[in-house]
Chain A
Amino acid sequence: MHDPVLSLHRVSFCYRSVAALDDISLDLRRGEILGIIGPNGSGKSTALRIMSGVLRPQAGSVLWLGRPLAQVRRADLARQLAVVPQDTAIEFPFSVLEVVLMGRAPHLGGFAFEGDRDIAAAQAALRRTATSHLAHRCIHELSGGERQRVTLARALAQEPQVLLLDEPGAFLDIRHAVEIYDLLRDLQAEGMTIATVLHDLNLAALYCDRVALLKAGRLVRLGAPGEVITYATLTEVYETEVYVDTNDITGAVNVLPLSRPYRERLRR
């Protein structure tokens, strides 16, 4: 029924002596959009890095399609799993098309040139992320939001079955953010499995099938957005008062910040 693509079982991870993840068990189910939410420093990005195999946990196990992730060859994994990291600096003046074509790396061997198949995949990825017009620009000339969409295009050019994203909407205005999440929905409809870290609780409520709420490296809640994103849970986890109600149009949960006088009034 719930076919797990990636599963973390009792995973713990620390950077030097600082614990980042503490005994987390979490499945990524085939075909779902899983949101990973939580306050700053709660271990969201670390969880994503563990899932992509960049970090190996000190305790617990990570399974990819039932096999230990550490035993899967990186090139094999990269043909099926793509990652959209947070903004990364690119050292050399590559063109946007060249960067997106690097998404084809796991499909090419040795000293190879990209073929028609690779170019087609890159162009399709550029189209889907609305960045075709940037193809010939130098990557250094782009704005943060444009660069983020190009990074997504690079991941799509990999033609993966699973997509992991670290705050894909962070540098985007409200229109471009919803466009990215709409695109994730479209990809889901085509069979893609998606896990995304996000800060924006409203977007999490609107787009995710399930959300995992982390705090200080621990998994606090896991379930449908309506069950996890509640006034009681948020005030406890984020340690602040927020305003929560239901959106009349979408039926999803709405979370709004409150300024100090209102927070104090609520606390009384």
Chain B
Amino acid sequence: MPYLTRRRFVRVNALLAAGLLATLCGAALIGPVHVDLMRALQRTGGPSPDFVILFDTRLPRVLLGAVVGGALAVAGAALQGLLRNPLADPHILGISGGAALGGIVAIILAGQQPLAAFSAGPVGSFLGALGATFLIYRLALVHGRLQPYTLLLTGVVVNAFAGALIMFINSLADFYQAHGILFWLMGSLATQSYRLVGTITVYALAAAACLLWQARHMNVLSLGEEAALQLGVEVERTRRIIFFTSSLLVGAVVSVSGMIGFVGLIVPHVLRLTLGADHRLLLPASFLAGGMFLVWADTLARTLLGATEIPVGVVTALCGAPFFIYLLTRAAGKAFD
């Protein structure tokens, strides 16, 4: 793959889009209860149970999984480009943690339940994500350069701090709110309305398009800040756009699905190995492949223990944490070469 042509861009994305479509159909048909597609589509006197399960429970959940996975993966790819660090991920950097904290504070202040669509949650999550991103960026910038290990350690600290505050707030909340918060924190794509799925899709696609617009600048930024300036990139402006947009993306996603980690780490990394480093292809491919990845992870979460559901965040973390360790040892090996 010497360089990216329009033809290759279209071909790869079409292939991945087809894969995502197949994933959506396939995953909707898989579940602890068997659904007969023919029976679901037959409309003889009111909707059949098959219809209800397929279209009211599974399909919105699968669609939400695709959007959330896509948004997390594209945010991960963009943050990696922005920070010039392949270990960056919204979860690891503490941006998701900041979003969760912001969301919870907003919900408590507004006296609402989490997961209520169009609550104060999304605004709070966005502000929390923005605050965390800003903090991480400022702290990891040593002498005008982003230090990879400072970056990761800052993420650890932001996560711990946000976690402690969440626990504190949780201990003050009443029983129902506390239960809702815990359920939400573990990361879940359970029963969602089409209206919510629609809203989050619009958000995610708009933000992803905005990031895609910066993709060529992200490529140039990987040559370093100085070289990017000398190649005509307004580095500060580009950074602010990426910074703001990925925070918006993470905030929106966390407010509906809680903390789902490592999607933004695994997906862009694997794609970079197979498709090359060009962000013009990496970003849309991350969106499509991230959607596939999370839908299958959620399908696993729904079905692995039969009727008992595992939080999808647990599944992604169980895959992602070992993967992260692997990347970290490789990066450390390179540093000592």
Contact = CB atoms under 8 A, between A and B. Distances in A.
A214 interface: no
Contacts of B131: none
Contacts of B13: none
Contacts of A103: 231
Interface stretch (B94-102, B162-170, B222-230): B222-230
A111 B231 contact: no
A92 B86 contact: yes
Interface stretch (B1-9, B51-59, B259-267, B291-299): B1-9
Contacts of A119: 3
Nearest to A89: B224
30 contacts: A53-B229, A54-B229, A73-B232, A74-B232, A74-B233, A75-B232, A77-B232, A81-B230, A82-B230, A85-B227, A85-B230, A88-B227, A90-B222, A90-B224, A92-B222, A92-B272, A94-B219, A94-B222, A95-B276, A98-B2, A98-B278, A105-B216, A105-B231, A106-B232, A110-B213, A113-B5, A113-B9, A113-B280, A135-B2, A136-B2
A97 interface: yes
B2 A113 contact: no
Interface string B1-26: 11111100100000000000000000
A74 B276 CA distance: 28
Contacts, number: 104
Given A91-B84, A98-B276, A108-B216, A74 B229 contact: yes
Nearest to A99: B223
B36 interface: no
Contact of A88 (B5, B215, B216, B223): B223
A49 B226 contact: yes
A146 to B, nearest CB: 16
B215 A111 contact: yes
Contacts of A112: 216
B216 A111 contact: yes
A102 interface: yes
A262 B234 CA distance: 53
Contacts of B81: 92
Residue from B5, B85, B216, B232 having most chain A Cβ neighbours under 10 A: B232
Contacts of B197: none
Interface residues of A, number: 41
Contacts of B222: 90-92, 94
B115 to A, nearest CB: 35
Given A53-B229, A78-B230, A110-B213, A91 B86 contact: yes
A12 interface: no
Contacts of A85: 224, 226-227, 230
B186 interface: no
A53 B278 CA distance: 27
A108 B226 CA distance: 19
A101 interface: yes
Interface string B208-221: 00001101110110
B224 A102 contact: no
Interface string A150-161: 000000001000
A94 B278 contact: yes
Nearest to A53: B229
A113 B215 contact: no
A92 to B, nearest CB: 4
B277 interface: yes
